[in-house]
Structures are given as structure tokens and as C-alpha cells.
Structure 1
Amino acid sequence: MNLLRTLHNFEVPQSFQSGQTCCWCGLEIDKAHIVECSLCHQTFHDYCKSSVFSPCYCGPLFPMETPYYHNLIPTNEKGLCSVCRKMSGPLMKCTKCTLYFHEKCTLCSPPLCRQASLPVDFYTHYLVSTSRGRCSVCGKVIQPNQQSVGYHCIYCEDQFHSTCVSATLPISVLRCPRDKLGLSKYLVHPSDIRQDVVIQRESQTPLIFVVNENSGGSRAKRVSSLFEKYFSTSQFVLIQNIDFAANRFGNYINGSSISDKIDNNLVVIVCGGDGSIEASIDHFGPYQKYLILPYGTGNDLSRSLGFTPDEILDTIEENGLSALREVLKLPTEFVDRWVLQVSNYKFGKNEEFRDFRRFTNYLSVGMDGAVAQKFSESRSYGPSGPFLNKCRYALSSTALLDNYCLDIDTKVLLELDGEDVELPPMDCLVFMSSVTCYGGQRLLKSSEEAQKMDDGIIEIFYIKGSLEMGSVSVGMAKPTLLARAKDIVLTIKPNFVLPFQSDGEPFLLQNAVIHLYTESQILFFSERKKMTSD
């Protein structure tokens, strides 16, 4: 609940219709005991109106285009139901506004959840339930009862009685300093949003949580429940709705360049796997900072940046906001992003190259692409955790029996930095930009020159057969390093359909010429950079 709110304006209605119910207790109202809010037109018993704590969202301060509903989950915590004001019985808790409700009370008219926008030009408090403290308005000790309930501001920790909260308070009380959590520059306040578009502020670096709810066996959903009460609802976006979020933050995205102050741009927290990272960069652009919470299967980019997936996820889920603050203090490093362009040829004529997709980890063609294709199909039946996904990946190796993914050396032509390369016998060709592959495996031998992720050069490996493929994927063998290059042209010979995968996303190509080169560099928070600097 935002402190800046409008209370109901109760009046006796001029007309009466039988069958109306009280929005507070849910019981039917007779003509002798009805009152109505002149702003939102909700009806109540006249003897219930003194107990109504829910704000009226239809007054001049709240021209809301759409209502914002609670995200309720069962809880064992003790609290006061925001509808009936009683503590008895099992409760539901909203992850966004922290209000408590009995399940049966949600069928009445619970107060709406936190609003996304406010037509004011200053930052107000944001209040969540509390049971102790001293009210900053009246100075009295907060003792929750059926007439009043306590709130505290999550940003500055000021305390308030619900009966002391109103829009008539002076600006000095309504204004929130927002500095005690150390998150003020990462927040999007309701006053920063106009017509569902976030206004760009020079001092702000908003966080955006991009959540893939299917990652980690749906474990990524926990991120929202951990942080929703601290950040605006506009700062959380499901991966399938990422287009809308990119439009909402368009002022931060459009016109950005690497020469701008990147510290004033967005921080995109990707809660998912390598595929979710690519989707986020596609929509928010290369000029933001990116933090990975690795809920995927392989999580190779996160590993390449020095993170241990289970370790960082356990830390975030156990310590919440304090852990997030520490991760946001990590140094950053640039990672090359490669563009894959495709030109199809038919009847002896080549089309112009067009952008097909981009990747930051690796691209492979042959056996690995076929296995990824089969794994993607099996995973679509339902989300699973990393361990089960790895088991599914192993079972997908039956795709190696298909001839279309074998003998890659006879089906493609390779040109590196303008020179043709003769290919040895192979069943898989891997173009690798990240340090690890296949869920944490380093492909370079210890005697070979160390790999870099920001030099515009990609390492090219080949795998001879299915036995070597299996050994490489579990770290028992190393593939052969074919070459290093900055500009790659791969031509698929006529009449062949080849399986590819880039960062875990499979696809098929035929009758095509593929051009690979570095397009940009992306800034990621890095544990590896911290270890290097130490």
C-alpha cells in the first residue's frame, strides 16, 4: 500500500436495489443500513464503515487504468487479516504488498494491491504490515486491533497507524527519503511511470527481473516472491511478456550507446538459462548491465563468469535482499556477442545476408545440434530441474543414430578470415566464445593458450564421433582445436539439412551460407573478474 491514498467518501445513496452486499463483511444490506462511497460506488453497512481500511482507488489521486491484484500464497506466518481484522485460522500472504488474508475473506472485497503509477512528482512511502513500533504521525505506540493496524515503510522504515494514513498529510510526511535499504537508485517508483512508460532519471539505474518460470523446474518463480515487495510490479517481467517490458523501459533503451554513461542505464537480472539471456539482450539491447541468476540446465555463461550456479542461487534464496546488494557490488566484464547471418541460395543465386540470430556462448553443427533438438522436444512436455534436464539430455543421445547429423566434413565448406580450411573427418563442429560448454566443461587443453571472451576471436573445435562426443560432454576427453578466427563463413552444400544449436536453442538449416562475426560486447557482472582483481 502506498501511503498516498484516498479514503472512501461515505454517503446514503439516493436509490436502493435489493440484493446488494456489503463490500466489507459480504452480507446482504437492507435499505435502512446502506451507505455508498461516492467515488468508487462500493456499498457497505453503515455499522461496517468504521472498520473499512481499504483505500479508495477511484479518487483524483488514483486514475488507475487497470486494477492490480494480489499474488497470494499460503503462509505459516502470524498476521492480521486485512479484511476481517482477525488472526485466527490459516492465512494467505501477498508477495507484492505483504498483506494477509483468510482464503474465504478474499471472496469479499479485499483492498487492491500496490498501484503501479502515481500522478505525483515526489517519492512517497510504500507501506507493508507491521505489528510493533511507534507511529511517525501521532507518536503513539502501534498496537494492532480491529480499529487500527500498523504499517512500516520498506524503504525508510518509518512506522504508521492505518488510521493516521491519508492523502491530507503534509508533504514532509508523505515524502520518503528511500535511503535505508541502499536500493534507491535501483527502484522504479510509481511517480516514475506515465501512461505505462518509465521516465528516465539521470540518477536512476532501474533493476529489471526477467523471469523464465519454466527454468530450474519452476524454481525461478521464487525470485518474484523474494523481491516483489521491494520493487515495483513493472520491474518484474515473464520471459513470454518481454516485448511489453522493453516498450515500458524504452526511454532507457532507445538512443543508448556504449559511449553514454552505462551506469545510468538498466540492470537486467536474468532468472533463467542461456536461452533466456539471449532473449533479454535481444530486447533490452547491448548497452545495459546484465546479471545472471542461473536457473537453467547448463548455465555455461554464468560458469564462464566465475559463478557456481547452486552456490549463488542458494545464497540469494536464503539471504534475499542483502545477498542481492552484495552481488550488485561485483565488478563487470565485457563478453563478445556474435551475430549469425544467413544467405540462402537457390537455382545458383545467393540472397543477401540477413541477421538470423545472436549468441554469446557457442554455436555447434552436427551431432550436438541433433541432441539439442531432441532434448528441446522432450523438455517441452513440462519443466524440470537441472538434474532431470541433464538426464533428459543424456537420453536424447539416441539422435546420434540419425545419419543427417554425421560426417559434417563432407557436408560443409569452411572459410576462416578469408582463407579456405580443409576439414578432417568429424561429426560435430563447435564455435565457442565462452570459457565452458556442456554444463561446465572446458574444451581447451591446459597446454593451449587461454581463452578470452572479449577479444573478438572465437575458438573452433571438432569432435570425431559419438564416443568422443559423450566423453567430452562429461569432461573425460578434450576435443581437437581446429583454429581461432574473427570472421567465419560456413557453407552448407546443396541437398543437406543440418542440425544446429546456439546457446541451447536448436534449429535446422539447408541451402545456406552462414556468416559469423562479433557484433557487440555485453557488460556482465562477474565473479571471475573479482577473483582476478583480488
Structure 2
Amino acid sequence: MKCSACKIIAHTSCINVLMERTKFYCKATFRDVGVRQYREQTCIHHHWVHRRSQKGKCKQCGKSFQSKLSFSCKEIVALSCSWCKTAYHNKESCFNLQKIGEECNLGLHSGIIVPPSWIVKLPSRGSFKSSLRKSPKKKTSSKKRSKEKNEKDQKTFVIKPIPSASVKPVLVFINPKSGGNQGAKLLQKFQWLLNPRQVFDLTQGGPRMGLELFRKVPNLRVLACGGDGTVGWVLSVLDQIGITPAPAVGVLPLGTGNDLARSLGWGGGYTDEPISKILSNIGESDIVQLDRWELKVEKNPDAGANEEGKENLPLSVVNNYFSLGVDAHIALEFHEAREAHPERFNSRLRNKMFYGQAGGKDLLRRKWKGLAEFVTLECDGKDMTPKLKDHKVHAIVFLNIPSYGGGTHPWNRTAGGIEPATDDGLIEVVGLTTYQLPLLQAGGHGTCITQCRSARIITTKTIPMQVDGEACKLTPSIISMTLLNKASMLAKRKGGKTNIQQTALETLKVNVDRINMSDYEQHHYDKELLKQAAMPLLVIEVNPVSDLEQVRKLINKQLEENSSSTAENELQTSLSPDWCFVDSCTAERFFRVDRAQEHLHYVMDIASDRLFILDTEPSTLPQTPEDETAFPSPAASNKQSNSLLGEETTPELSHLLEKTTDGILKAAKLGDLKMLKELHSQGFSLLSIDATGQTALHYGSRYGHKDIVKYLIASAPASILNMADNDRGQTALHKAAANKRRSICCMLVAGGASLTLPDHQGNTPRLLALQAEDHELAAYLESQEHFQLVSEDLETVV
């Protein structure tokens, strides 16, 4: 097996020996340091690999490497870094680690590589990790790495970019099947030159996953390796995701026609040009705009019976061209033949030969000589049908780019009037005959009909049509074409032009929302509820390179400016001095950002579309599984427990006069909160117990009724938290842990439930979680036991 990231080759059976005995590990393409520590180590270290063969010259002495061709030779001739590709002779005089240093600058393509420090591995879903119990680093096998990369149903990584005007990361999407299967070879080359995690195989789920993962990276660029259909696929997914601003898209032409790539200056097809040179061109390319047109199809109600066909076009957006008639008929025959015999279409030359043969047959048949009799064309409201009939066209082509059909130029610039452009909001309409089609390859042109901003086509017969090379037969229809949007594309920089570097990043406009302490305590386990409970506070404009310390000053300054003399406005804009930032996008749940680490984080590290801040005292926060560095609240007093997670509370004196009833227990079993509240309001005690000594909190915790548990913690006396049943001597926390009710365990611990009380068998809640094989819950409860013991010791000292 060969690793495309570090170019190590090993027998499958030798991989474990290589890792365990030799202690060789592949270069780290991401950080696995927890959701809080990812900014503590952002520098990249060299990844030195011993090489038995090496091309190029030694950086120290400048001499070439002498590689021996014998397979039995085990001599190490060089050491090279898998990141920056720097190589040295395997001699002390050349390779001196102290002089070279540990930090790597990522080499020639540092401006487009995504550093491993930007990619943070998240804890597994539902993880109860705690920084107080750091597990030892595990050796990562190749099978495990492969499994991690293929986890598509679970969010495994998050991108935490360091904003910089000089870094323009490039995402590479490769279609291995395009252009005679060239993409399969290029995939490994890109993974060697870049971070493998910024290179995506389109056959493994398409471009959506990669684009969504990197959507917050500033100055992002995309390289689509494939045909024009691959580029259209990437652009359509960008439309669906709605990234703002959308990244510019470049093209490495691997398809048959590659007309869009030709129009942008990338050539008609990849011909073994060094990938390193292509990446350099992508990094220095210009950004141009490309008009994109929307097609809407309706059934023609006035058309009679016709031959079978499709009721919709294969694509609804035009990037290159849309045509109907003889050329679409040839494209349809090509697609049908390729689907029937894919092995016959494994090179560009064979594909073009098929087009030539099919075009020759149509030249003789002249099947679509009467196309204008079945088509009505309106351009910008003007009827252009008479012109189509005068020229007896066999095909109508709507050109959005100058190139068509593999590099031809149907639009006659001399006779057409206005010079066509990709961003002028106009589409060129050209008529073609079967005589003009073959002449296009020799530099000929079609008949220029018009340029327009909208078009309407009405057909009365089933006619072959194609959109960007995707063909079908469309039943009689009414087709409307209008401008959809403009896409940012990368055009190859022409020689002689100076490279103008971007000097600054665009300012971000961020909505800041405030979360109250009571809402945080009540809904800390549920992201969506907290988002709904948050209140808009203000809108700020911030530089993407500003850290959270600077953002804090900006927020405080703007709050002072916004505050007025009226008490109402002052109340709405005031914050406690101890407010803190809340990370809403990294983990499954919200967690606070440590005040001492604010200088390490940027706004987009902790926010997606909204920035949340918590208006509270840090010492009163409950511990949540992802809240790794925050201290939990100590065992709460009766007063604190009654108000914690507060919903409706009643005075403690009223409990002395309450009556017991089985209805309270029944409501808890069924999860009927309305019934429980009504009984409580009628004077029935929430401390009611049955014959086994179980309370409503026992049943609510056992059956997983979160609303019941929240209400009981808020409204019942604090003694209910540690009441044990007669049968097993278990509290509500025992029941929740035994049944793996993680959220309820978290709520009970926050409310002040004891973690160290044993049942009749001597089991604490943590031991019951272990018996239930929920090791993450057990780890969480163990960390809370430590906090609770510390808190009790402090109270004893006081």
C-alpha cells in the first residue's frame, strides 16, 4: 500500500510493524486536542521521512541525490519533509535539526494549503469528555483513519481558520471518471502537494460535504477537476448552500468539450502539465463573473399528440449553452451509446470521432431541416421566428460563453455587432444548419440571430434539447429563460499582468444575541431551545482578524453609546461585568469561552450566523459535558436548588400543608406535566411516595421525562434529590444513570444531587452507568464526583 500523503510504501502486513516498532506515523492532517485547546498550538512541525530514493537537490549542499535502483538496497539517501518537500542528504553535515528548526512553512504552496491546525477533530456525538481526565493518546491505525474519513452521517471535523489576506485556501474536487479516468491519478498528486483533507473525490458523496465544512474560511477558492458538468455540479451546490460571499471556482479540464475551461483560459484539456504549476496558476488567477441563466419548463397545452419524451430538462440552470435541434440530437446519441458501452468511450479522441460520425449521418438525413416550423422564439418580447424560417436553421443555440462544441466559436463577432462577454447579462442566440456544423471546426460561424436578456421558446413537437451537454427529448413545452445570478470564476492570468495582492479582508457584520442565566441553566442541554430563548442585543461590524478580546471592547463600547437616559433602554442594553462569550458551533451543546483564552479565538471560531454572549456570573453555571474548563456549581443550598432551572416556584412554607396523592406519581410516570402542575396547584405534595418509597422524581428520571424532572427540581424541596427508595436504596440519579439518561443526569447534578450515595448493593450512580456500559456517562459522573468532594471540603473548612 502507498500513502498519498507522505509517499511511504509498505506491505499490508508490515503497516502495524511500521507504526508499533519503528514508531513511524503519517503526517497529522488535523488537530485532535479537544474543542477548547485547538488554538494553543497552531504552528506546524516538519514531518521528516527517510527516503531510499529522492529527486532534486539537497537544500544544504546543493548536490543531487544519488539513488540506487537495487530493490535489496536499504541505504537511506535523504530525509525530506512531507509538508514543505524540503530534502537533505542523510549526513550530519547536511541535516542538522537544530539549525533547520522544527517549524515548517508548508513550502511553495503555503498560500493555498489548509494548515492542519485549522482542522479540529470533534468529540464523538454525545461525548462526555472532561479535561480533568485526559486519556492517553491512542495510536491511530490506517483502518481507523480510513473509517474517520468515510464517516458521512456524523459531523467529525470543524474548520477553525486563522483569517489572513495573504492565504487563499483551495478546495479540490475531482471527478475520477472524467476525461478517460485521468482524475484517479491526479487525486494522489493533489493529496501529496496539499493537505489531503482539502482534496475531495466527487464519487464519494459529491461536493456538498466539503463546501459546507469549509464555508466559513475567508478567501476560499475551489478547483473543479472534470468536465463542464462537474463545474456545473459544484456551482449548483454552492447555490443550495448559500455561502456568502461565494468562493471563486477554477477549472482543471478533464472532460471532452471543456468549453467553459477554454473560455476562462485553462485550455481544452489537461495534458500532463505539472500539478504544482497548475496550483501556482490557481493561486495567482483573476476573478471574473459568469452569468447563469434559469430555465423554467411548462407543458404546452395547445400541442396535440406527439412521440414520447421527457417533461423536464436534465438541468434547470445554463452555465455554458442551451440548444435544441440537430446538435442536441447528436449529443443524445452520444450519451445513449456511452451508457450502453462505456468501455468504448475512454479517451477524448474516441469521443470526438463519435461526434464526427454522428454529425455526418445527420448531414445526409437532414432530419431537423424543418425545425422552425415547430418552434416559436421570442427574445426580449420580440418574435424572432421569421428570422429562423428565413435561414432554415436545423439547430438553435443560446450561447453564454464564446466557446461551443469543443472549442468552436459559432458567434460571428464581425456580423454579430456587440462583442459577447460572460458577465454582460446578455445571451447570444445563434442558428445552425447541418452544413454550418462541420464548418465550425474549421473556423466557420453560425447565423447570428440576436442578443437578449430573456427568451421564451414554444415547441409543438417532441424535440431533442441539451443543457451544458446533458441531452434529452422534451415533449411540447413552453420554456422561459431569464438571468439567475452571477458566479465568481477563476480565469487564468495572462502573461505580463502584475499580481495585485489583496490588502485586507472584508468587514463582517455580526448579530449579537444575549442569553440570560436562567435560560442557560434551563436549556443548556438543548442548542435549539437556547437559540430560541436568546434575545437580539446589537449588530457589530468587526474585522475578521480581530480576536475576542477586541470584540469584547467593541461590544462594551457600542453598548455604552446605545444606552440612553431612560431606564427601559438602559435595561435592554446593559450587561453584567462578568458576561462571557458562548461557543455555539463547535460542539453539540453551547459552552463558555474562558476569559483568559479570548485572545486566541476569532469571531467565526465560535459563531455561525449569530454571536451569543451569556449575561451571568460564571460561578453559578452548571457543568455540561462539553463545558470542559468551567467549574460546576457546588452542591446547591435549598434556596438555590428551588430556583435552579427555574420554571414555576412556590414558597417553601407551603410544603408543610400539602397533601399526598398517587396522582403526582401517575403524572410523573406518564410524563403529563399539565396534570402534575394542576395537582401541585391544588395543594398536593411533590414529595408524595408510593409503597416502594419512590417519588415522582424517581419515575420521571427512570422514564426519561425531561420536563417532569425540570419542574420537580425547580418546584419541589431540595430533599427530593437524594430521597432513596425502599427496595434498592436508590436515588433519582441512580435511576437515571442505570437507564443511561444522560441529559437528566446532567440536570440532577446541576440541581445538587449527591454523586457519592451508595445503594443497598454499594453502587454509586457512576458504577451503575458502568454496568449499563455507558462509559462516557460514567466518565462524566466521575469528574463531577471530584468537583462535589472539593466543594464539600471547602464548605467544611469555612
- Structure 1 length-normalised TM: 0.66
1:222 deviates by 2.7
Q: Secondary structure at the match of 2:203?
A: helix
Identity %: 21
Q: Secondary structure at the match of 1:308?
A: coil
Bigger strand share: 1
Q: Deviations over 1:20-46 (max 9, x none)?
A: xxxxxxxxxxxxxxxxxxxxxxxxxxx
1:324 aligns with 279
1:471 aligns with 439
CA distance change for structure 1 residues 94 and 251 in 2, over 3 Å: closer, same or farther?
closer
Q: Equivalences for 1:78-477 in 2 at 5 Å?
A: 93-102=2-11, 105=14, 116-120=29-33, 121=38, 122-125=42-45, 127=47, 129-131=49-51, 152-155=81-84, 157=86, 176-189=103-116, 191-194=118-121, 195-203=156-164, 205-243=168-206, 245-250=207-212, 252-253=214-215, 264-285=218-239, 287-310=246-269, 313-314=270-271, 317-346=272-301, 356-380=315-339, 381-382=342-343, 383-397=345-359, 398=361, 405-422=368-385, 423-424=388-389, 425-448=392-415, 449=417, 450-464=419-433, 466-472=434-440, 474-475=441-442, 477=444
Q: Secondary structure at the match of 1:98?
A: coil
How many Å separate the matches in 1 of 2:468 and 2:82? 42
Q: Secondary structure at the match of 1:438?
A: coil
| 8 Å contact from structure 1 (residues 305, 529) kept in 2 | no
CA distance change for structure 1 residues 426 and 446 in 2, over 3 Å: closer, same or farther?
closer
| 8 Å contact from structure 2 (residues 50, 76) kept in 1 | no
Bigger helix share: 2
How many Å separate the matches in 2 of 1:414 and 1:134? 66
How many Å separate the matches in 2 of 1:420 and 1:307? 38
1:116 deviates by 4.9
1:507 deviates by 2.4
| 8 Å contact from structure 1 (residues 196, 248) kept in 2 | no
1:508 aligns with 473
CA distance change for structure 1 residues 500 and 125 in 2, over 3 Å: closer, same or farther?
farther
How many Å separate the matches in 1 of 2:366 and 2:459? 16
Q: Secondary structure at the match of 1:186?
A: coil
CA distance change for structure 1 residues 452 and 106 in 2, over 3 Å: closer, same or farther?
same
| 8 Å contact from structure 1 (residues 150, 160) kept in 2 | yes
Q: Deviations over 1:355-395 (max 9, x none)?
A: 95212211110111111111112233135222121112223
1:220 deviates by 2.5
| 8 Å contact from structure 2 (residues 118, 159) kept in 1 | no
How many Å separate the matches in 2 of 1:216 and 1:119? 38
CA distance change for structure 1 residues 322 and 529 in 2, over 3 Å: closer, same or farther?
closer
Tell me, which stretches of 5 or more residues in structure 1 are unaligned?
1-71, 73-92, 136-143, 162-171, 255-262
How many Å separate the matches in 2 of 1:106 and 1:205? 35
How many Å separate the matches in 2 of 1:271 and 1:116? 22
CA distance change for structure 1 residues 299 and 470 in 2, over 3 Å: closer, same or farther?
same
| 8 Å contact from structure 2 (residues 334, 355) kept in 1 | yes
User: How many residue pairs were aligned?
Assistant: 405
How many Å separate the matches in 2 of 1:456 and 1:510? 29
1:224 deviates by 1.6
- The counterpart of 1:490, out of the listed 451, 454, 457, is 457
CA distance change for structure 1 residues 155 and 532 in 2, over 3 Å: closer, same or farther?
closer
| 8 Å contact from structure 1 (residues 152, 159) kept in 2 | no
Q: Secondary structure at the match of 1:240?
A: coil
How many Å separate the matches in 1 of 2:302 and 2:46? 65
Q: Deviations over 1:327-356 (max 9, x none)?
A: 4212222121122222234589xxxx9995
1:519 aligns with 484
| 8 Å contact from structure 2 (residues 377, 384) kept in 1 | yes
Q: Deviations over 1:243-296 (max 9, x none)?
A: 4x4234326448xxxxxxxx9242111111111110111123482111111111
Q: Which moved more, 1:358-367 or 1:402-411?
A: 402-411
1:182 deviates by 4.0
Which of 1 and 2 has greater Rg? 2
Cα-Cα RMSD = 3.9
1:409 deviates by 1.0
1:402 deviates by 7.8
| 8 Å contact from structure 1 (residues 214, 384) kept in 2 | no
Q: Which moved more, 1:193-202 or 1:327-336?
A: 193-202
CA distance change for structure 1 residues 533 and 340 in 2, over 3 Å: closer, same or farther?
farther
